[in-house]
Amino acid sequence: MRSFTYERASSPAEAAAAAMRTEGARFIAGGTNLLDLMKLEIETPTHLIDVNGLALDKIETTTEGGLRIGALVRNTDLAADERVRRDYGLLSRALLAGASGQLRNKATTAGNLLQRTRCPYFYDTNQPCNKRQPGSGCAAIGGFTRPLAVIGTSDACIATHPSDMAVAMRALDATVETVRSDGTVRGIPIAEFHRLPGDTPHIETTLVPGELITAVTLPKPVGGKHIYRKVRDRASYAFALVSVGAIVQRDGTGRVALGGVAHRPWRVEAADAEMPRGAKAVAERLLAGARPTDENAFKLPLVERTLGAVLAEAKG
C-alpha cells in the first residue's frame, strides 16, 4: 500500500474544495471498497479526505412527498428505515441482497453508487485493463467473461456495475445531489449518473473532479408491488449474475431495471410499456442490441426467466 496523507473535512463545500487542492485526492466514506483497492494498489490516492464527520447521515421527507437520503446514510440504516420499507420496498430489498450485514453497517449511500466493478481482470494487476490503466487493453475480451456485461459494452470494456442498490435507485428515478469545489450544487438524474464504457471506461460517472455527493433524492412513492430478485452463484455474499428490480401495479403496468448485465444499472423506459404483455416482450425490449459472449449468452434467457418469476410473484 502506498503512503498517503489524511484529513477530516469540516463541511461538504470544504471537502469538495480540498479535493481540488490536492492532486490525487479521494474522498473516503465507509472505506469498504476504496481500502481494498488501495491495498491492491489498484487505487493509489495521495490524500484521503474523510467525509464521515459531515452531517450527511439523515433520511428526511421532502416537501414533494419523497425522501432525501444523506450520502453517509449506512446501507443497513437505509434498508431498515420504516418509510423506505413501507414506500420504497424495492430499495430495501435490493440493499439487503447486497454484501453482508457487517459490510452494510459501514457502506454508505454515496460509496455504494461509486463502488468499482468486480471484473476479475480489473483486480489482477498483471493483466491489461483499460479501466485500471487507460489504453492498456482489455484482458476480459477473449478471456473469462461469464460474469461480465451483455449489453452497452464497447471494444474497450465489457465490465458490469456491481451495485444492487443502484438498480433500485434507477427504477425509482432517484436524483443524485452534489456540491462542486466552487460551492455550486446540482441534481443529476440517476439515468445520467453512470456512464457506458465507450472508449473511456475509466470515467464511470458524470461527476466532475472534486464533486462530492451530498444526498440522493427519491420522488414521491408510486405504490405497487416492489420486488428485487437477484440470481447469483452463491445464496449470499455474491454479486449478481442477473438481477431484476421491478415495481408492478395491479393492472400489470410498472417499471423494471436490471443489474449484472451492463456497465450501469440497465433500464430502457420503452420496456416498461411492455410489462402487461409479459416477460418475453419486456426482455426483448430491454436486451435489444445485446452483444453477449459465448460464455455469458446464458444471461439473456436468464433475464427473461427472472422477469417471468418476478411478474408471476407480483400477480400471486
Ligand X SMILES: Cc1cc2nc3c(=O)[nH]c(=O)nc-3n(C[C@H](O)[C@H](O)[C@H](O)COP(=O)(O)OP(=O)(O)OC[C@H]3O[C@@H](n4cnc5c(N)ncnc54)[C@H](O)[C@@H]3O)c2cc1C
Residues making contact with ligand SF4 (CB under 6 A): 117, 119, 121-122, 129-131, 138-140, 157-159, 201
Q: Which of 29, 227, 290, 300 binds ligand X (CB under 6 A)?
A: 29
Determine the interface stretch with ligand X among 29-37, 61-69, 147-155, 185-193 (rule: CB under 6 A).
29-37
Total number of residues shown for the chain? 316
User: What is the distance between the alpha carbons of residues 67 and 60, in angstroms, rounded to a whole number?
Assistant: 6
Cβ of 211: how many Cβ atoms within 10 Å?
A: 22
Q: Tell me: does residue 110 bind ligand X (CB under 6 A).
A: yes
Interaction between residue 51 and ligand X (CB under 6 A): yes
Q: Which of 25, 32, 96, 255 binds ligand X (CB under 6 A)?
A: 32
Cβ atoms 310, 246 nearer than 8 A? yes
| Contact mark string toward ligand X, 202..241, x via CB under 6 A | ----------xx-----------------------x-x--
Residue corresponding to grid cell 462542486:
180
Q: What is the DSSP letter of 192?
A: G
Distance from C-alpha of 110 to C-alpha of 37, rounded to nearest angstrom: 17
CB 259 within 8 A of CB 194: no
State how beta strands 25-28 and 47-50 pair: parallel
Evaluate whether 279 touches 305 at the Cβ level (below 8 Å). yes
What order of strands is seen across the sheet that includes strand 5-8? Answer: 5-8, 47-50, 25-28
Contact of residue 259 among ligand X, ligand SF4, none (CB under 5-8 Å per partner type): none
Print the binding letters for residues 64-93 with ligand X: x by CB under 6 A, - otherwise: -------x----------------------
- With CB under 6 A as the rule, give the number of residues binding ligand X: 31
Is 172 one of the binding residues for ligand X (CB under 6 A)?
no
Q: How far is the CB of 166 from ligand X (least distance, A)?
A: 7
Binding site for ligand X (CB under 6 A): 26-34, 36, 51, 71, 98-99, 103, 106-108, 110-112, 114-115, 162-165, 212-213, 237, 239
